[in-house]
Amino acid sequence: MQSEVVIEAEGLTKKFGNLVAVDSLGFQVFKGECFGFLGPNGAGKTTTIKMVNCVLPLTAGKLTVAGMDVIKQAREIKKMIGVAPQEDNLDPDFTVLHNLIVYARYFDIPKIEAQKRAEELLRFVQLDEKSKVLIDQLSAGMKRRLILARALINEPQILILDEPTTGLDPQARHLIWDKVRSLQKEGVTIVLTTHYMEEAAQLCDRTVIMDNGKIIEEGKPSDLIKKHVGEEVLEVAYDEEVLKFLKNAFPDARLDVVSDRIQVFTNQPRGVFTQILNKFSFKAAMIRDANLEDVFLKLTGRRLRE
């Protein structure tokens, strides 16, 4: 079903001086899917997508977008990509509407068409009432939505979203997610980076988890969860005796002690924790679904980055 490859990397490497930011990555993004780069800060996610977007030259390796080489055919590739960068680089000298009109000009979109698309896009991201407002009067969520609208002005086939919801409140975040889903339905290929696991689980068909410039795992979010942390997690308050008991009860499980809590991960099917809890009572015990965050922390560790 997913046959046509739109982005393909082979041995993709980027060095800044001695620092290897991206270390011989290989990945494929298929047409129409939502592909996520997950990783802690400094993992190399943004560096990778900047190379896809042809604004950062490669140190080594090969990278093609729609079969075109990112170095030789940068202009052609940039025409078909829309980018919503992590940093706010909206033009503070212009109003909301004029930001889109000026941006359309860089894509050679004729003025009348630009006006039409800009108005449509402002409705799409629910900013039509703000069209005459200057950028610094927008909230963070509105700015993100405008950046999304701007990324769509050239009707891109590939949409790149770099941390699209960082710093947003839940309302603004869900609105962005809705828009991303509806774009994917229209057939737009979406590449996003995030360190919000819920975001990746909600949106992505496939993800790669990056750490220190390398891809350390790859797959569907649900498969990754099952593979690495099972279906359910048991959490109880830390106690020496309880820890000993759990170790005996679940000899194959992974037990993590995180501050004052014990987390138990097991490959056994749903329900084993309920059986235990029915027999014994632990202080502050709870059973929850395993999630991508558990996978992420397992694979990348708990050490703080940067």
Partner 1 sequence: MKTSKVASYFKMPKLSYRVWRVWRRDQDVFMKTYKVNFIPPLVEPIFYLLGLGLGLGDFVQLVGNVHYIDFIAPALVATSMMYSSFFECTYASFVRMYYQKTFDAIIATPVSLEEVIAGELLWGATKSIINSTIVLGVILLFGLVHTPFFLLILPLSFLVGLLFSAIAMCFTAITPNIDSFNYPAFLFITPMFILSGTFFPMGGLPVAVQMLANIFFPLTHAVMLTRALTLEGLNPTLLLNLSWLLVTTPFFFVLSINMMKKRLIK
Nearest distance from C-beta of residue 75 to partner 1, angstroms: 5
Q: Per CB under 8 A, does 16 bind partner 1?
A: yes
Alpha helices in the chain (DSSP H): 45-52, 74-80, 96-106, 111-124, 140-151, 170-185, 197-203, 221-229, 240-249, 272-279, 292-300
Residue closer to partner 1 (CB basis): 147 or 209: 147
Phi/psi of residue 125, nearest 5 degrees: -100, 15
Q: Beta strands 81-84 and 158-162: pairing type?
A: parallel
Of 75-83, 214-222, 255-263, 269-277, the segment contacting partner 1 by CB under 8 A is 75-83
Residue closer to partner 1 (CB basis): 16 or 280: 16
Nearest distance from C-beta of residue 157 to partner 1, angstroms: 14
How far is 290 from 201, CA to CA, in rounded Å? 12
Q: Per CB under 8 A, does 288 bind partner 1?
A: no
Q: Per CB under 8 A, does 136 bind partner 1?
A: no
Tell me, by CB under 8 A, how many residues bind partner 1.
Answer: 28
Over the window 86 to 115, marking each residue x when it contacts partner 1 by CB under 8 A and - when it does not, the resulting string is: -xxxxxxxx---x---xx-xxxx-------
Nearest distance from C-beta of residue 137 to partner 1, angstroms: 16
Q: Per CB under 8 A, does 56 bind partner 1?
A: yes
Q: Beta strands 60-65 and 68-69: pairing type?
A: antiparallel
Residue closer to partner 1 (CB basis): 74 or 243: 74
CA distances from 162 to 50, 65, 106, 189 (A): 10, 17, 21, 14
DSSP state letters, 173-227: HHHHHHHHHHHHHTT-EEEEEES-HHHHHHH-SEEEEEETTEEEEEE-HHHHHHH
Q: Per CB under 8 A, does 129 bind partner 1?
A: no
Alpha helices in 13-91 (DSSP H): 45-52, 74-80
Residue closer to partner 1 (CB basis): 131 or 291: 131
Nearest distance from C-beta of residue 272 to partner 1, angstroms: 50
Q: Per CB under 8 A, does 85 bind partner 1?
A: yes
Q: Per CB under 8 A, does 280 bind partner 1?
A: no
Candidates 68, 74, 242, 249; binder of partner 1 (CB under 8 A) is 74
Q: Per CB under 8 A, does 154 bind partner 1?
A: yes
Residue closer to partner 1 (CB basis): 88 or 289: 88
| Nearest residue to 176 (alpha-carbon basis) of 147, 209, 206 | 147
Q: Per CB under 8 A, does 132 bind partner 1?
A: no
Nearest distance from C-beta of residue 160 to partner 1, angstroms: 9
The C-alpha torsion from 26 through 28 and 34 to 35, rounded to 10°, is 0
Phi/psi of residue 46, nearest 5 degrees: -65, -40
Residue closer to partner 1 (CB basis): 95 or 184: 95
List the Cα angle 147/148/154 in 5-degree steps.
100
How far is 32 from 66, CA to CA, in rounded Å? 12
Residues at the interface with partner 1 (CB under 8 A): 16, 53, 55-57, 74-75, 78-79, 81, 83, 85, 87-94, 98, 102-103, 105-108, 154
